[in-house]
A and B are shown apart, each in its own frame.
Chain A
Amino acid sequence: MTERAMTEQPSQPSQPSKLFAYAPAPESRAVVDIAPSYGLFVDGEFREAAAGKVFKTLAPASEEVLSEVAYGDADDVDAAVRAARGAFGAWSALPGAERAKYLFRIARIIQERSRELAVLETLDNGKPIRETRDADLPLVAAHFFYYAGWADKLAYAGCGPEPRPLGVAAQVIPWNFPLLMLAWKVAPALATGNTVVLKPAETTPLSALFFADICRQAGLPKGVVNIVTGDGATGAALVAHPDVNKVAFTGSTVVGKEIARTVAGTDKRLTLELGGKGANIVFEDAPLDQAVEGIVGGIFFNQGQVCCAGSRLLVQESVQEEVLDALKRRLSTLRVGDPLDKNTDVGAINSAEQLARITELAEAGEAEGAQRWSPPCELPGEGYWFAPTVFTGVSQAHRIAREEIFGPVLSVLTFRTPDEAVAKANNTPYGLSAGIWTEKGSRILKLADQLRAGVVWANTFNKFDPTSPFGGYKESGYGREGGRHGLEAYLEHA
């Protein structure tokens, strides 16, 4: 996905791109009609929040207010859970083949409306249109299509001959892939016969509300999917609700631990997909040009706001200079700016808060003695922006080597032997992703074995597919999303 997204020919650094400047190529906003305000989607209809509170959602690239959205509190959460509980009996009793057809309908409508949703997502999130158009939306549709096919085949999923749904699923998702994370949560939940209350991220509520309209178009029975917009307090109320049977959360490790404590001592089932500090390991015999593309895609895809980002580059000492030179040359060709421009590689940071965190950690990197480098690039005057940044001379003790930055910041460390690479890669409480770049097959298999991470990309990076289970080791969370494994989180274990 990312490689395709980043396959422009690198130009020579000595030839400034001014000579052949790109003309603006904006994707039209006319394809999406954003209402001035949105309510909560509960029991099949949009309604105002019980307390009448609202909040604004901004376009991070311009700080323009896109819409005003209802703020759900504990009463609204309760109404949504009651709606989901009310819908559960009939939905779970529906023959699997009928549930499947609803999901197929949803998948098709998403395909039909994919350009509209891509533009919407780019506006609300700040990520480049090329990514929403070529990565997020195709994966969203594919995910629904994949799980639709499971709905009438659950007896073959390895969870016993008559697997039963859990009940009401409380799902809390992040802002980095708003609609894709919705798909990862909602599709398997519905396929298995559960009903859903979903809380989208505070800064990216719009695509979930458009999804509510898609549910309406698909004729989904009311109450099967409920969307409650709000902030962390809304999410906390949802996961703490006593009539919820299942909690699924994607987000930070700090919040994940809080949710695990909330759920402790209850009968609620829990899956968590949390942070990461992925190591991208480049050996001297790697196909270096491909590796550089993979490094760039690994950390600058989606502005580095990716839990499985390859945020630590571990490069073998013998090729350090060569790799870094090529990397810097490549980064000089990245186009940072208007996310709606079809030629943009790096868009806006999602929020002022996230920008502040990235800025703070980058400053800590400098203060702790690492060397900071960014390509020359002009950042827009409005909105939230952070230039692609590379730190060299990073030690394992530095904060930028230990903490998840969740931004376009790469920390470069070196190693001499495969054992050292593995030890450094595993030296983190996280365990979500890792990358290996080498032409030696036996080395790939050995390292893939030794790396304590849920996803290992060898000679590639940041690939996703609905059939491929995704999730972490250690403090990157537990449970898997995608594939047959993704069903287990929503079925009673025999």
Chain B
Amino acid sequence: MSTPDARSSARLSVLKTYKLYVGGKFPRSESGRVYEVTDAKSGQWLANAPLASRKDARDAVVAARKAFGGWSGATAYNRGQILYRIAEMLEGRREQFAAEVAAAEGISKAKAQAQTDAAIDRWVWYAGWSDKVTQVVGGGNPVAGPFFNLSTPEPTGVVAVLAPQRSSLLGLVSVLAPVIVTGNTAVVATSRNAPLPALSLAEVLATSDLPGGVVNVLSGNTAELARPLAAHQDVNAIDLAGAEAELAAELEGAAAENLKRVLRPGDDDWAAEPGLGRLTAFLETKTVWHPIGA
């Protein structure tokens, strides 16, 4: 005769079907492909993640372009509030993310918890930049003549983001938040082998008042997704954080075709305070002149 305890331990858990995040919706890959994602330490099967295709990448660019006008036109205060909301939503699910990060990266529960907490704090840090960066990097220029002259930073546009391969959540947030806080929209290619925290982050983004299309998340082979993104004529910039040196060089060459702004891969310490480099890499300076006269 079975006890209630035994009955509950026999309960089969409900597994999550991990999906892409494009235009505010959660589609499977149009290709119908998936690939096995395993625990970094035990090698145990974790999930079948979508193996996104070139077509998925192009669809994501369309969604990101569509979202750009509204997101870049939102007030800085509003964007800051939404980024802060992302931190709030993530905080509520920190146990889940810690578990996913531990499995994705093969690190201890404690370390994964620290990574998750740092990722939450990073959203808060960048949220605060939304209505400050303009004053820090822009300003009035004292031209030698009767003119009002003002330089203002503006978002570059659609940014392709190759997320870091090893730091599945903190690294991802560290490259994504600086792109979108200023009004850019993003197409993210997740870590190839550790995509699950990124795909779960999409669920957080979807419930944080972030307009659909501002962030689009694709899991799959980095090179397969990166090549069409680097060559895409309607992508304005690319962050190569997740590309190996050889691939990064190839992608930078392809990006020259429409003069994308390129952020090369570096040896970033994701735990350190980020500085303004990643944020200003995807800003344009606009200078407006007007005569002064009665």
Q: Which residues of A come within 8 Å of B, CB atoms?
A: 142, 158, 253, 256-258, 260-261, 263-265, 272, 274, 429, 444, 448, 453-460, 463, 465, 467-471, 473-475, 477-478, 480, 483, 485, 493-494
Closest approach, in angstroms, between the C-beta of A449 and any C-beta of chain B?
8
Assuming A265-B248, A448-B288, A456-B287, is B277 touching A468 (CB within 8 A)?
A: no
Residues in B with CB closer than 8 Å to A465 are 141, 143-145, 147, 149
13 A-B pairs with CB atoms under 8 Å apart are A256-B259, A260-B252, A264-B255, A453-B286, A454-B287, A455-B289, A457-B288, A458-B288, A465-B147, A469-B287, A483-B141, A485-B285, A494-B277
Residue B92 is within 8 A (CB to CB) of chain A in the complex: no
Asked whether any CB of chain A lies closer than 8 Å to the CB of B43, the reply is: no
With A142-B144, A468-B141, A474-B236 known as contacts, the answer to whether A253 contacts B285 (CB < 8 A) is no
A265 and B236 contacting across the interface, CB-CB below 8 Å: no
B74 located at the interface, meaning its Cβ lies under 8 Å from any Cβ of chain A in the complex: no
Shortest distance in angstroms between B62's beta carbon and chain A's nearest beta carbon?
18
Point out the residues of chain A lying under 8 angstroms from B156, CB to CB: 473
Question: Which residue of chain B is the closest to A269 with respect to CB atoms?
Answer: B264
Give every chain A residue within 8 A of B149 (Cβ-Cβ). Answer: 465, 467-468
B137 at the interface (CB under 8 A from A): yes
Q: Is the CB of A478 within 8 A of B261?
A: yes
Q: Are A471 and B285 within 8 A (Cβ)?
A: yes
Chain B, 234-284, CB within 8 A of any chain A CB = 236, 245, 248-250, 252-253, 255-259, 261-262, 275, 277, 284
A272 CA / B258 CA spacing, docked (Å): 12
Which of A261, A458, A494 makes the CB contact (< 8 A) with B290? A458
Which 5 residue pairs are nearest across A and B when measured between Cβ atoms?
A: A265-B249, A260-B256, A264-B252, A465-B143, A264-B253
**Is B32 located at the chain interface by the 8 A CB criterion?**
no
Are B151 and A485 in contact, with the CB atoms below 8 A?
yes
User: Is there an interface contact between B275 and A264, defined as CB atoms closer than 8 Å?
Assistant: no
CB–CB A272/B289 < 8 A: no
Indicate if the CB atoms of A467 and B142 lie closer than 8 Å: yes
Contact indicator A257/B141 (Cβ below 8 Å): no
Contact (Cβ within 8 A) A469 B288 = no
Q: How far is the CB of B191 from chain A (nearest CB, A)?
A: 22
Q: Check if B136 is an interface residue, CB within 8 A of chain A.
A: yes
Whole-angstrom distance from the CB of B182 to the nearest CB of chain A? 14
Q: How far is the CB of A309 from chain B (nearest CB, A)?
A: 16
With contact pairs A460-B290, A470-B287 given, residues A429 and B258 touching in the complex (Cβ less than 8 Å): yes
Q: A468, B143: Cβ atoms under 8 Å?
A: yes
With contacts A469-B141, A477-B259 known, is A265 near B277, CB below 8 A?
Answer: no
In this complex, the interface size class of chain B, counting residues with CB under 8 Å from chain A, is 35 or more
Q: Which residues of A contact B277 (CB under 8 A)?
A: 493-494
User: Could you tell me the distance between the alpha carbons of A256 and B255 in the complex, rounded to whole angstroms?
Assistant: 12
B291 contacts the other chain (Cβ, under 8 Å)? Answer: yes
- Chain A residue at smallest Cβ distance from B245: A265
B259 touches A444 (CB 8 A): no
Q: Can you name 4 extra interface pairs (CB under 8 A) apart from A456-B286, A465-B143, A494-B275?
A: A264-B249, A455-B288, A457-B289, A468-B289
Shortest beta-carbon distance from B250 to chain A in Å: 8
**Do most interface residues of chain B lie in helix, strand or loop, or is the interface mixed?**
mixed
Q: How far is the CA of A185 from the CA of B142 in the complex (A)?
A: 21
Q: List residues of chain B with CB within 8 A of the CB of A448.
A: 286, 288
A480→B290 CA distance, assembly (Å): 20
Does B290 contact A265, Cβ atoms closer than 8 Å?
Answer: no
By a CB distance below 8 angstroms, the chain A residues around B258 are 429, 474-475
**Complex CA–CA separation, A478 to B260 (angstroms):** 9
- Return chain A residues, CB-CB under 8 Å to B287: 454-456, 468-470
User: Is the beta-carbon distance between B289 and A480 smaller than 8 angstroms?
Assistant: no
The CB with the most chain A CB atoms within 10 A, among B137, B143, B287, is that of: B287
Q: Which chain B residues lie closer than 8 Å to A458 at the CB level? A: 288-290
Q: Which residues of B contact A274 (CB under 8 A)?
A: 259
A463-B289 contact in complex given A257-B256, A257-B259, C-beta closer than 8 Å:
yes
Rounded to whole Å, the gap between the CB of A172 and the closest CB of chain B is 16
CA distance A322 to B249 in the complex (A): 54
Q: Which of B129-167 contact A (CB under 8 A)?
A: 136-137, 141-145, 147, 149, 151, 156
Determine which of A261, A456, A470, A494 lies in contact with B256 in the assembled complex, contact meaning CB atoms within 8 Å.
A261
Specify the chain A residue showing the minimal Cβ separation from B236. Answer: A474
Contacts of B252 in A (CB 8 A): 260, 263-265
Interface string of B190-233 (1 = CB under 8 A from A): 00000000000000000000000000000000000000000000
Contact in complex: B284, A454 (CB < 8 Å):
yes
Residue on B nearest A257 in the bound complex, by CB = B256
Closest beta carbon of chain A to B142's beta carbon, Å: 6
Contact flags (1/0) for B161-175 with A, using CB distance below 8 Å?
A: 000000000000000
A460 pairs with B259, CB closer than 8 A:
no
In the assembly, what is the distance between CA of A205 and CA of B236, in Å? 35
Q: Are A454 and B141 in contact (CB under 8 A)?
A: no
Chain A residues with CB below 8 A from B257, complex form: 257
- Complex: how many Å from CA A454 to CA B151? 9
Q: Which of B137, B141, B142 is close to A158, meaning CB atoms less than 8 Å apart?
A: B137
Question: Which A residues are CB-close (under 8 A) to B249?
Answer: 264-265
In the assembled complex, the Cα of A76 lies from the Cα of B258 at a distance in Å of 32
Q: How close is B152's CB to chain A, nearest CB, in angstroms?
A: 9
State A412–B255 Cα separation when bound (angstroms): 33
Instruction: Chain B residues near A478: list those with CB within 8 A.
Output: 259, 261
Residues of the B chain whose Cβ atoms lie less than 8 Å from the Cβ of A263:
252
Q: Are B275 and A469 in contact (CB under 8 A)?
A: no
Q: Which residues of chain A are within 8 angstroms of B145 by Cβ–Cβ distance? A: 463, 465
Q: In the bound complex, how far is the Cα of B283 from the Cα of A471, in angstroms?
A: 12
Contacts of A483 in B (CB 8 A): 141, 151
Q: Which A residues are in CB contact (< 8 Å) with B261?
A: 478
Q: How far is the CA of A258 from the CA of B147 in the complex (A)?
A: 37
Instruction: Say whether A474 contacts B259, CB under 8 Å.
Output: yes
Q: Contact partner of B151 among A142, A453, A468, A493, CB < 8 A?
A: A468
Question: Is A260 a contact partner of B290 (Cβ separation < 8 A)?
Answer: no
**Please, which residue of chain B has its CB at the minimum distance from the CB of A476?**
B259
- Measured in the bound complex, the distance between the Cα atoms of B236 and A482 in whole Å is 23
Q: How far is the CB of A212 from chain B (nearest CB, A)?
A: 27
